[in-house]
Structure 1
Amino acid sequence: MFKQFLNSTRCLLQTVGLAGAVFFTVGALAQADGVRPEFMDSTQQWLDKAVAGNLPSGSSPLRMEITVGELDSRLRLAPCARVEPYLPPGTRLWGKTRLGLRCLEGSVKWNVFLPVTIKAYGQAWVVKGQVSAGAALTQDDVMEAEVDWAEQREAIISNPDQWLGQVANRALTSGQALRQGMIRPAEVFRAGAQIRVQVQGAGFEITSDGQALSAGVVGQPARVKMNNGHVMSGEVLDSRTVRLEI
């Protein structure tokens, strides 16, 4: 019955040059009735493949969960024979994001955005109690637990060597996963400290005394004033030593 009505309606509208409106309205009826658009299945497959190929390199195994939201209920999309998913510029398949959908073959070309949530569950280091700002982290301050890596944009710190002995940038509370930006390397000496300077060159190495002109962090450069008054920059080796290469 509905098919006969639709055919007669299409013939009537074609007579007045409005055939395109029939397809637009039929598409709108399908959405209004809560029918899942056919292109959503292929969109889900595209997402699964894209997320699998976009996992952080060198990370521990992650259990991915992909939740596809709903299109705006106010949208009335014309039927489309081929819908292409794409990632809008400046977005990534991580956390709460969005996916673009554009009609490539249809009576009306349209472009919409679909809300998507990507969760990535894996092991991480989580704060056990309270850590004050400026305090150095120890093994007793953290424990391993499963968290959603994609809950925040900052990357998870998964290697213990990257946080052990580091200093909290701000107060940390129980349950927080350690992420980049939360900690910084600890200073091993302050500006003005008397230090030992190892000077290395082609075929020689000498040791001298000097004065630090900047705070020292292991593995980072520091400025040093030599006994002869020259100011040089070298790599901090430990709490007393800076290495200069000439």
Structure 2
Amino acid sequence: MLPSLLPLPLRRLAWLAALGCASASAQNSLPELNALGSQWVQSAIGQGGAGGDEALQSLPLRMEVQVGKLDARLQLAPCNQVEPYLPAGSKLWGRTRIGLRCIEPGARPWNVFLPVTVQAWGMGWVLNTNINAGETLDASSASQAEVDWAADTSPVIALPEGWVGQTAARNLMARQTLRQSMVRPAEVFAKGATVKVLAKGAGFVVTSSGKAVNGAGVGETVKVRMDNGRLVSGTVNAQGDVETGM
């Protein structure tokens, strides 16, 4: 396990892959391949390669990395040029994996995967008590604590304004870390309510009204059944009106 501080943006995974190839010369045993993979992951994390999100790179997250081992039953052909790489669609965040492949010309090709767990410790908010779906969170609902940002794909809510006054999107348990997928804006109107609809065009606004097909909060999308029976979709603004384009 390697703790380190996440630096400012430095993306050099391609350079690290080249470094891995150079370091892999004549390394064919599983322990050596495990070590190569571990070195590559730790170098990538140190160069700001965690998370795949530029916004994460400026946060003071304390990284911890656990690199697993290849299956001891593997029988790999000798290779003098092994390339560590990050599989397409993967990122060094949470439970993931990296690949090791033989790219030596003329050698028998192979491709294996090494399990990796990346933890990113930083300040967040944890619930003090159970919260039922639809309940509104207030300032006493959660306390600040160090949490693992990489434990889930949904981003951690770092600031209290991101959850105070919001409602629980589902049943939440005490000690859970608050993440963006767990809360939603409080409803400003319920299903069936009469709402004002603002149809905006180039330099003009047409005002009408209709019945909300679903409840919604500020910034959320809602469907409205107009008086003529037509169904329109729009976004709830800060005044509780529904804005739609023409």
Question: Structure 1: 5+ residue runs without aligned partners?
Answer: 1-26
Moved more, 162-171 or 61-70: 162-171
Moved more, 236-245 or 109-118: 236-245
Matching of residues 1-246 of structure 1 within 5 Å: 36-37=31-32, 39-51=33-45, 52-55=48-51, 56-59=53-56, 60-105=59-104, 108-196=108-196, 210-214=209-213, 215-224=215-224, 233-238=233-238, 240-243=240-243
TM-score norm. by structure 1 comes to 0.69
Distance 1:115 1:240 in 2: 48
What one-letter code is carried by the residue in structure 1 that aligns with 2:83?
Answer: E
Query: Number of aligned pairs?
Result: 213
Following superposition, the deviation at residue 85 of structure 1 comes to: 0.5
Moved more, 212-221 or 104-113: 104-113
Deviations 1:164-186 (A, max 9, x none): 32221222122111123322222
Structure 1 residues 46 and 220 mapped into 2: Cα distance closer, same or farther (>3 Å)?
same
2:8 equivalent in structure 1: none
Following superposition, the deviation at residue 47 of structure 1 comes to: 1.4
Following superposition, the deviation at residue 63 of structure 1 comes to: 0.9
Moved more, 116-125 or 100-109: 100-109
Moved more, 159-168 or 218-227: 218-227
Following superposition, the deviation at residue 99 of structure 1 comes to: 1.6
Determine if contact 1:212/1:222 at 8 Å carries over to the other structure. Answer: no
Distance 1:49 1:150 in 2: 18
Distance 1:211 1:202 in 2: 23
Following superposition, the deviation at residue 205 of structure 1 comes to: 6.4
Distance 1:146 1:110 in 2: 41
Deviations 1:195-237 (A, max 9, x none): 45567666666877x3433323212344456678876554423
Structure 1 residues 57 and 238 mapped into 2: Cα distance closer, same or farther (>3 Å)?
same
What one-letter code is carried by the residue in structure 1 that aligns with 2:172?
Answer: L
What SS class does the counterpart of residue 65 from structure 1 fall into? strand
Structure 1 residues 218 and 82 mapped into 2: Cα distance closer, same or farther (>3 Å)?
same
Percent pairwise identity: 45
What one-letter code is carried by the residue in structure 2 that aligns with 1:104?
Answer: I
Following superposition, the deviation at residue 64 of structure 1 comes to: 0.9
Determine if contact 1:188/1:238 at 8 Å carries over to the other structure. Answer: no
Following superposition, the deviation at residue 96 of structure 1 comes to: 1.9
Moved more, 123-132 or 162-171: 162-171
What one-letter code is carried by the residue in structure 1 that aligns with 2:37?
Answer: T
TM-score norm. by structure 2 comes to 0.69
Distance 2:129 2:227 in 1: 46
Q: Which of these two proteins has the greater Rg computed from alpha carbons? A: 1
1:17 equivalent in structure 2: none
Question: Structure 2: 5+ residue runs without aligned partners?
Answer: 1-26
Using CA pairs below 8 Å that are at least 6 residues apart, which structure has the higher relative contact order?
A: 2
